[in-house]
Amino acid sequence: MRTLTTHRSLFALVTAALSIWASAAVIAAEGDASESTDRSLLRVAEAPAKPDGKKYELRYKLNRGDVLRYEVTHRASIRSTIDNTTQAAQTKTDSIKAWKVTDVVPEGDIEFTNVVEKVHMVNQLPDKDPVEYDSTKDTVAPPGFEDAAKAVGVPLSVMRITPFGKVVRRDVKVRGQNAEDDAPIVLRLPDQPVAIGETWDESFEVQVKLEKNNTKMIQTRRHHKLADVKNGVATIEVTYQVLSPIDATMETQIVQRLMEGEARFDIEKGQVIGQQMDVDKRIIGFAGPTSSMQYVMKMEESLVKDETTAKPPTTAANATPEAKTVKPQTQTANRIKTTQPSSKKYRR
C-alpha cells in the first residue's frame, strides 16, 4: 500500500500549473591558444576579461497603479519505475500572470496583488486521453482542474516587499489543495550594490514527510549571482541548493524546487523582464533499490510590453454579457470520466 501511495503521489507533481519565477542554464565559455616551437609545445589559456569592479544597485522601482503582466509557459514530465512497472505523465501550461501595484509606502515597501488572468492547461496521465482546460473558453472546469479554475481572475495573494524583494508580508487569498504557500513569487535582490561575479542568498526552511506521519525541517537556499550587465539589463544566475542531508524519498518531495537558470532585470526601470528555469533530475531508490524517477521541467516567463495601460484579457468568468453570448467551447472538459489526482502546485 505504501508503494502504491508513493507512486500515485509522484504523478501529482506534474500537474503543477501556475508556478513560480526565475531562471535558465548557466553557460560558461573557455578559450585557449597554443603555439609550437622546434623543441616544445606550449598551451596558453586565454584569460577571461576582468570585471570592471563597478557596483550596481538592483532594486524594484514600482509605482502605485503599475501593472506588470507576464506570459508564462510551463512544461513538465515525469517518468517513474517501481517494481518493474514504468509510468509517465506530462503537463503543459500557458498562462498570463500580473502584478498589480496597490501601494508604495513612504519607507519604500511595495504592496501588490498577484493574479493569474488566464490559463490554458493540458494534462496527459498514464493510459488516459489528454485532458484540457482553457479559462477563456470553458465555463465549467473538468475534474482535476477545479482548483485552477477557482484561481483565475482573482487575487491569489497580497504581497508586501522591500525594494530589494524581501517579503515583509504575504496574505494568501486562494488556497488550492496541496498548494505551496511559500512558493517563489519575487526575485530576491541584494541588499547592497554588487559587482559582476558577486553573490547573495535567500534561505528557506522546508518541511518534508517521514514515515509514520513524522516530519522534518530541512535547510535550503536560493543562491544568486550577478553574471553580467549589458545595455542596462542585469543577468542574474539562480540555483536552488539543499544544505541538509536528505535521502531519495525526501528528494522526490522537493524535486520541483531544484531549479537552475537565470533572470533578466532592467536596472533603470527596476523590474524583472524575463526568466527561464529548468529542472532535470533523476532520483534512484526512492521506493526500493530498483526504483527510479526522472523529472524534467522547463519554465519561461517574459514581460508583456506597455502593460500599465493594457486591459486584462477576457475570461469565461469575467466576460461581458455580449461576450457570453458566444457559445463556449467546452468539449474538452467533457472528455474525462474519472477524477484525476489532486495536484501539488506552485503559485506564480
Percent of all residues in the chain with a pLDDT value above 90, rounded to a whole number: 66
What are the grid coordinates assigned to 315, written together? Answer: 475570461
Mean pLDDT of the chain: 80
Please provide the DSSP assignment of 281-318 as one string: EEEE-BTBTT-EEEEEEEEEEEEPTTTTSPPPPP-TTT
pLDDT of 347 over the 50 cut: no
Find out whether 33 and 47 touch, Cβ atoms under 8 Å. no
Find out whether 1 and 8 touch, Cβ atoms under 8 Å. no
Strand-pairing partners, residue 110, are 104, 161
Q: What is the pLDDT of residue 34?
A: 36
pLDDT of 37 over the 90 cut: no
Find out whether 202 and 22 touch, Cβ atoms under 8 Å. no
Comparing 316 with 129, the larger pLDDT belongs to 129
Structurally, at CATH architecture level, domain 56-334 sits in Roll (2.30)
Mean pLDDT, residues 319-338 taken together? 41
Tell me the domain boundaries of the chain: 56-334
pLDDT of 301 over the 50 cut: yes
pLDDT in tens, 228-283: 999 999 999 999 999 999 999 999 999 999 999 999 999 999 999 999 999 999 99
Q: What is the pLDDT of residue 84?
A: 87
Residues 153-190: b if buried by 16+ CB within 10 A, e if exposed:
bebbbbbbbbbbbeeeeeebebebeebbeebbbbbbbb
